């Protein structure tokens, strides 16, 4: 499903400049500088507690920088789509699969406008692309973990965002679903999306993500995946993780 040409505009980058982000005045990631190129596919990797999800929440605007800044190069919040970890999504609402996908049109139609037949057709098309076309009327509480993730990817498709931010999109799902959804992401990248995903599966990252950013509360490496996921960087990330002190004061490092 192509991205709207009027939402793409000129190719823009997302630039982090000496960025520090944290909670209760304690940094979880600090002094990160670098660039997500327009149309790139980047994995954020690193040890547990290394600040991967924190950085993603800063990019979506859920957390404000403690220092430094993020330059979105003209990209507006409405052009960014976010997929949280599955554990953060409430499935207790009595919604159908199709209802959830149609929520992807919320930024365009708001709370009081009716869904058009064209939008309903686009939602059904997105479900077909994620292998969930036959499940449109099924209640979401009846879905397996993998099926639910396919539905959430269908919602991403109808949003036609310029930037996709995904937090562990392939956690706890089967290999077939991972393969199918990875194909969806690659197709979206080919159509111009900038995709940034927190990942734990390093073999999957090596196979499908050209770019990687490695975090262990500080930046270990950012660039081509082959270079970033080298033994030296992995060892350094592990060493830093072993030396972490909770609630450490903000450091004074200058970029």
pTM over 0.95: no
What's the rounded Cα separation, in Å, for the pair 137 and 139?
6
Low-confidence winner among 16-25, 204-213, 236-245 (lowest mean pLDDT): 236-245
The answer regarding whether domain 77-161 maps to CATH 3.40.50.300 reads yes
Beta bridge partners of 34: 16
Over residues 227-237, the pLDDT tens digits come to 999 999 999 99
Over residues 111-165, the pLDDT tens digits come to 556 789 999 999 999 999 999 999 999 999 999 999 999 999 999 999 999 999 9
Indicate if the pLDDT at residue 255 is higher than 50.
no
Strand positions, DSSP E, 131-215 = 163-167, 194-198, 211-215
Indicate if the pLDDT at residue 6 is higher than 70.
no
Give the pLDDT confidence score for residue 47 in this predicted structure.
96
Give the pLDDT confidence score for residue 1 in this predicted structure.
38
Fold designation for 11-75+164-255? Rossmann fold (3.40.50)
Confidence of residue 88 (pLDDT cuts 50, 70, 90): confident
Give the pLDDT confidence score for residue 160 in this predicted structure.
92
What's the rounded Cα separation, in Å, for the pair 102 and 112?
14
Give the pLDDT confidence score for residue 250 in this predicted structure.
54
Pairing type for strands 41-45 and 26-36 reads unpaired
User: Would 11-75+164-255 and 77-161 be classified into the same CATH topology?
Assistant: yes
Q: Where are the domains of the chain?
A: 11-75+164-255, 77-161
Confidence of residue 251 (pLDDT cuts 50, 70, 90): low
Rounded (10°) CA dihedral 182, 185, 190, 195: -120
What's the rounded Cα separation, in Å, for the pair 157 and 81?
10
Indicate if the pLDDT at residue 57 is higher than 80.
yes
What's the rounded Cα separation, in Å, for the pair 83 and 72?
19
DSSP for 73-103, written as a single string: TT--GGGEEEE--GGGS---S--BHHHHHHG
């Amino acid at each position: 499903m192509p991205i709207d040409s009027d939402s793409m505009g000129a190719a823009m980058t997302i630039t982090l400049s000496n960025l520090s982000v944290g909670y209760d005045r304690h940094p979880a990631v600090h002094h990160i500088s670098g660039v997500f190129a327009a149309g790139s596919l980047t994995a954020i990797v690193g040890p547990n507690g290394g600040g991967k999800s924190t950085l993603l929440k800063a990019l979506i605007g859920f957390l404000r920088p403690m220092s430094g800044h993020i330059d979105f190069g003209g990209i507006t919040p409405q052009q960014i789509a976010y997929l949280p970890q599955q554990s953060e999504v409430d499935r207790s609402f009595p919604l159908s699969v199709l209802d959830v996908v149609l929520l992807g049109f919320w930024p365009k139609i708001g709370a009081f406008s009716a869904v058009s037949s064209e939008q309903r057709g686009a939602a059904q098309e997105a479900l077909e692309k994620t292998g969930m076309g036959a499940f449109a009327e099924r209640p979401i509480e009846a879905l397996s973990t993998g099926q639910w993730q396919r539905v959430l990817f269908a919602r991403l498709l109808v949003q036609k965002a310029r930037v996709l931010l995904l937090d562990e999109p392939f956690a706890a799902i089967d290999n077939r679903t991972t393969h199918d959804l990875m194909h969806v992401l690659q197709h979206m990248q080919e159509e111009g999306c900038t995709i940034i995903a927190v990942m734990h599966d390093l073999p999957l990252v090596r196979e499908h993500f050209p770019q990687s950013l490695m975090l262990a509360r500080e930046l270990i490496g950012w660039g081509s995946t082959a270079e970033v996921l080298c033994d030296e960087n992995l060892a350094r990330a592990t060493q830093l993780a072993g030396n972490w002190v909770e609630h450490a004061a903000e450091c004074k490092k200058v970029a």
